[in-house]
Chain A
Amino acid sequence: MNTKSIIQTKHLFKIYNTGVIETVALSDVSFQINKGEFVAIMGPSGSGKSTLMHILGALDLPTSGEYLLDGEMVSKLKDEELADIRNRKIGFIFQAYNLLPRTTAMKNVMLPMRYAGVAKEEREEKARKYLTLVGLGDRLEHTSNQLSGGQQQRVAIARALVMNPAILLADEPTGNIASVQAEEIMSLFKKLNNDGHTVVMITHEPDIAAHAQRIIHVKDGKIVKE
């Protein structure tokens, strides 16, 4: 095993059983991502790329196979331990931002730190720091619905960064955002990657994927091309 690898999967399968039909979403997926990489996962809709992302983000468990994240065998962990992994090791950025409604940017960003038991002063300081980093230093007390789509996504990025996670996972981060703002988000990702963050991003847009150093193509639940 490569000591530099931060994500390693072995023979991941994800099978949805809806009672009548079995749907194979992931079939024998094995790959690895190294520390400091900026990886894009591409594929048509229904290819299983989102399922893969959710498993990488510990939001879902594989039906079988192994998933090693930063030295932890995630596929074997219990519910409470998974919560801890999600909290400390993973910064997840959703396509739909998923901010708490009618809640200020500060409070949204502080939420993961609250679950980690970080003291109040430190929380506020860090939230302010990361919101400033994503360019929202002047929008700290704006509630989610007072922010534009691009701004909301930047709050979500600040929220993903604030626990200083091992990896940043972004699921179609620019999918809901106008192209000018999408470029800003991508340059933010590049900057974060230059600062040493490992970034894994899902997209179906080739020009967005072009920002990454490495592109993994997924089709019918399998990795078809690297």
Chain B
Amino acid sequence: MDILELFIESLGTLTLNKTRTGLAILGIVIGIGSVIALVSLGQATQQSVQSRIESLGSNLLTIQPGSTNQGGVRGAQGGRTTLTLDDAKAIETSTLITTIGKVSPEFSRRTQITTGGSNTNTQVIGSTPAYAEVHKVTIASGSFITQRDVEVMSKVAVLGPQVVTDLFGEGANPIGQSIRAGGQTLKIVGVTQAKGGSGFQNQDDMVFVPLTTAQKQLFGVNYLGSIALEAKSADVMADAQNEVGYFLLTKHKLSDPTQADFSILSQQDILNTVTSTTGTFTSLLAGIAAISLLVGGIGIMNIMLVTVTERTREIGLRKALGAKKKIIITQFLLESIILTFTGGVIGIILGIITSYFISNLTSSPFVISPASILLAFVVSAGIGILFGWYPAQKAAGLQPIEALRYE
């Protein structure tokens, strides 16, 4: 009895019991599909977060005000008002600092923006012209904040494309129109180029105003939120971090580095943190996927066990008619393989389609990991075959009459 004939017979048996076959396949489809989709989602998230952080500007150092430390009570990081425009100017003009190029003093706060009938809540960033260079912001139309805007506290604003869409509608040209923020009317002078991305640090969902305008007129403060520095090259990042650190300690008349009222983060630090965070996220998703694979596997196992057990009498009959043990095991193995293979292929296709839709919906990259496909397939096929083979070989090992009598 050749294998092709057995294969055709197995197909026939499987089509005889469509519900059971369908359920077995469904278990495998869900197991494999969810592993592929979830791992893909995790990896896509990781990649998109990384590329977004990299798009914020390379060679970037950020000075943040340190946490308050009064009477031994340590307050929140960034809660102190120790960074001033004076610090930024001093860093820029100091001859002691040789590794720093552009210096971008910044003050940002989320606030409500209104115009005509619409409004939005977005990040308003008080910035100088250096911001555009340090953070790689390019202008799509109009112009960015100029040095003169900063000097004379112009009431102007540059909008991110997302803000334009929110306030004026998709594709509108808002230049020349006005928005209101913090009690002031600001004239729109430019729109930035879309960078893509979403979430809290969406580069497109921002409004830029002159630093002085933001400090004095919008928010009434005289300190900075942060100072972004561009190191002259990636190689001098560590030197730059040290130079600026000592310079600011001296300027703030602090002798002990542990008492620093500021902290300097490099882009690499942030990237490392975020990468490890998203790595955790991917592991979490993979964990969930593993559980669904396990559940799917148990489903396959269950159906294979039931299938073989309820066919113990059939196995007995086949043996009574002269089937050798090997033929019976081959027959059940073939059925298992057909089930898991069909389910596996459908699962892979569905998993890829799902990943594709997720990547479209979240505008994250479309990543499919061959390792996840292989893993999911091997695990569920392994389970299907093992749990088809085990009871089949048990039943095939019985005396025919015992199998025939099986209830």
Contacts and interface: CB of A to CB of B under 8 A. Distances in A.
B400 A59 contact: yes
Interface stretch (A113-121, A132-140, A198-206): A113-121
A163 B321 CA distance: 10
Interface in B290-338: 313-314, 317-327
Determine chain A's interface SS by DSSP, over half rule. Answer: helix
B176 to A, nearest CB: 79
Contacts of A79: 324-325
B404 A59 contact: yes
B1 A60 contact: no
Contact of A60 (B16, B321, B401): B401
A102 B402 CA distance: 23
Contact of A87 (B5, B322, B402): B322
B399 A98 contact: no
A84 interface: yes
A100 interface: yes
Interface string B122-140: 0000000000000000000
Determine chain B's interface SS by DSSP, over half rule. Answer: helix
B317 A100 contact: yes
A86 interface: yes
A13 interface: no
Contacts of A57: 320
A94 to B, nearest CB: 8
A141 to B, nearest CB: 14
Given A59-B400, A86-B400, A112 B1 contact: no
Given A59-B320, A83-B322, A111-B321, 15 more contacts: A59-B400, A60-B400, A79-B324, A80-B325, A83-B323, A84-B324, A86-B322, A87-B321, A87-B322, A87-B323, A88-B322, A92-B321, A102-B16, A159-B321, A163-B322
18 contacts: A54-B401, A59-B319, A59-B320, A59-B400, A59-B401, A60-B400, A83-B322, A84-B324, A86-B319, A86-B320, A86-B322, A87-B323, A92-B321, A98-B404, A102-B16, A115-B324, A159-B321, A163-B322
B167 to A, nearest CB: 68
Interface string A100-114: 101000000001101
A185 interface: no
B1 A117 contact: yes
Contacts of B320: 57, 59, 86, 92, 98
A111 B404 CA distance: 17
Interface in A44-76: 54, 57, 59-61
Interface of B: 1, 5, 16, 313-314, 317-327, 399-402, 404
B322 A112 contact: yes
A80 B326 CA distance: 9
A159 B400 CA distance: 17
A45 to B, nearest CB: 15
B330 to A, nearest CB: 12
A163 B374 CA distance: 47
A115 B400 contact: no
Contact of B1 (A83, A92, A114): A114
Contact of A112 (B321, B399, B402): B321
Contacts of A98: 313, 317, 320, 404
Interface in A133-156: none
A112 B318 CA distance: 8
Nearest to A50: B401
A83 B318 CA distance: 10
Contacts of B400: 59-60, 86
Nearest to B2: A117
A59 B5 contact: no
Nearest to A96: B404
A31 to B, nearest CB: 20
Contacts of B323: 83, 87, 115
Nearest to A60: B401
Contact of B314 (A54, A84, A100, A159): A100
B399 A115 contact: no
A65 to B, nearest CB: 16
